[in-house]
Amino acid sequence: MTPREAELLQQLRQKDEENARLREQLQLMKQTTGLLEQKIDLLVRRIFGAKSEKLNPAQLELLMLQDEAGKEPASPETPAGAGDSWEAEPKRSAPRRGKERALRLPENLPVIDQVIDPEPVKADPQAWRHIGEEVSEQLDYEPARFFRRRLIRRKYVKRSEGYLAPIIAALPPSLLERCIAAPGLLAHIVISKYCDHLPLYRQEQIFAQRHDVHLPRQTMVRWMELVAGWLLPIWQQMRTGVMAGGYVQVDETPVDYLCPGHGQTKQGYLWTCSKPGGDVIFEWHTSRAGACLDNIIPVEFRGTLQCDAYSGYRAYAKGCAGRITLAGCWAHARRKFHEAREQSPRQAGWLLRQIGHLYRIEAGLRDLHASPRLRDATRASESRIIYERIHKALLRLQASKRHLPQSLMGRAISYTLNNWPMLGVYLQDGRVEIDNNLVENAIRPTAIGKKNWLFIGDAGAGQRSAIIYSIIESCRRRGIDPHAYLRDVLTRLPHMTNWQIKDITPEAWAKSHSHEALKAAA
């Protein structure tokens, strides 16, 4: 081989190596571009798409009939057999009947009669005889009104002993001496801010423009502090009840708060603890660190915490020396596959179907108002089979390496497998729910409020808001009118001792008023 041939051969080898390197870079760029496109599509769907994750069984059937290329080849990663059909599980509840038509006008509303006579009758009533009437109804409304409540304490002297000092009734105990706000007004401001999400500055404008009553929002802020201070013993009593059962659902949500001296807001967190079927407790912390749970969960608590996959919960449970068991949330796992259904319709559709079977079993148990023992037995005989089937499918999909780790489907598989032991805890304890949705639903009102009032005040205002949110959300769970509850409780609290607090929690208040209603009906 001549030197020239050797030189050309060397150049050819260099070109081949450079081409191979460029092909690898091009392939990597294609993969990266695909991942970015998936992320952009997901972001667009989250912003502009439907928020509901409900899937019609017929739509899911169509989804599974096509793979990513629009064809229908058999997928080696997708298991077949039992559980592939929506009709594989028998129906557990009778078909739902159509909703009964509600009354157009509630019967319990007060009635104001307005008699309308013809003009000839008005001109000569004596010439006409009343033979009947036709009645039509309308639903009307009068805006809320302010009024002055005057407490008149009359003085008396005994007729036979007129020289003695007169007697006069003592003023009833109040929340604050010489405070002009009555319990009804305080309850209205609280409900408007924390239930109807009206910031205090908007309430100030409404009072001034519509009622000609000028209440500075600084004054209302002090009243909110006053209300939270009086409700604190009730909150503490509720917190004891939530933590006493050995099973608590936990979640947290960010809330901005003012940071004096910095001229800006910082991010704090409302931590939420919920007892399914019981009360909800909010606690305020300026951090999301797992160490916050040391102050939220009592030291003597032993049982199950149901939460999402946030690492702070794992760190807390690891330091509890085995007295805490973490339960996972199937709703979070399902959401991951729901987001990946367009990129991997066949695999994601099959997994969504299996998770749907798990939820169908839970819906049947809920319709039966099943006890923990019945739920435990049903889950062991029916849900565990589906649970193991999903696990095998996920392991097979992960081993196939068909989905990139950072793709939507790849992340859904990794998320579910990393939390797999936590997702199976509900199969071992009949008290535990399949997901954490109850506590997430309790957080929703705060998310709506944040869009209106933007920040919560200073750091000290966070716990005051947490107390009031706890009371309102617990009332909502029990079907109690929060305004009626707060008005009654704020009126009675100055007369009560700490030993009587247990009688005015939302749970006790609902029971007592249901008994009173039964007695009145009897």
Q: Sign of torsion, CA 63 68 73 78?
A: negative
Amino acid making up residue 177:
E
Amino acid making up residue 124:
D
CA atoms of 199 and 453, how far apart (whole Å)? 5
Q: Quick one: pLDDT at residue 474?
A: 95
CA atoms of 494 and 496, how far apart (whole Å)? 6
What tokens appear for 141 in the block?
């409304």
Residue 477: in which H helix or E strand, if any? helix 459-477
**What is the spatial order of strands in the sheet that 247-259 belongs to?**
280-285, 264-274, 247-259, 303-306, 324-327
Print burial letters for 138-176: b (CB count within 10 Å at least 16), e (below 16): eeeeeeeeeeeeeeeeeeeeeeeeeeeeeeeeeeeebbe
Q: What does the radius of gyration of the chain's CA atoms come to, in whole angstroms? A: 32
Q: List pLDDT tens digits, range 315-330.
A: 999 988 889 999 999 9
Residues of the chain with pLDDT under 50: 68-83, 85-91
Q: What's phi and psi for 340, nearest 5 deg? A: -95, 5
Task: Round to the nearest angstrom and report the end-to-end CA distance of the chain.
Answer: 115
Is residue 349 within 8 A of residue 43, CB to CB? The reply is no
Q: CB neighbours of 123 closer than 8 A, spacing ≥ 6?
A: none
Closest by alpha carbon to 462, among 259, 302, 280, 213?
259
For the chain, the structural domain boundaries read 244-328+437-463, 329-430
Q: Quick one: pLDDT at residue 63?
A: 58
CA atoms of 231 and 10, how far apart (whole Å)? 85
Residue 354: in which H helix or E strand, if any? helix 345-367
Q: How many CB atoms lie within 10 A of CB 210?
A: 12
Closest by alpha carbon to 181, among 153, 139, 223, 234?
223
